[in-house]
Amino acid sequence: MPENKVLSQLTSEELNKKKKQSIGVMISFGIVMFIAIVVLVYLSFKTKKYALSGIAASLFCVFIPIYVNNIQINQEIKSRQSKKE
């Protein structure tokens, strides 16, 4: 099993690959979360169980670590580009 490397230990090619994967994960989770939110809000109004809309709102917490990871990757790429110049 490959070990997890710190972003500073990755090569530029690995960082770009990780960035593309991160964006793909963000897009796919975003689509799934949007569908889940729409379904939960619809069900909460249809069944008059408004607590389901609270679950829909809490789904954004799942997205935060993915977004933070993407920001860290972008910062590492920018720092390497500024070192080259």
pLDDT of residue 22: 92
Tens-digit pLDDT profile for residues 22-63? 999 999 999 999 998 899 889 888 998 888 888 877 888 888
Question: Could you please report the per-residue DSSP string of 33-83?
Answer: HHHHHHHHHHHHHHHT-THHHHHHHHTHHHHHHHHHHHHHHHHHHHHHHHH
pLDDT of residue 70: 92
Domain boundaries of the chain, sorted by first residue: 12-84
pLDDT of residue 2: 57
- Are the beta carbons of 2 and 17 closer than 8 angstroms? no
pLDDT of residue 4: 66
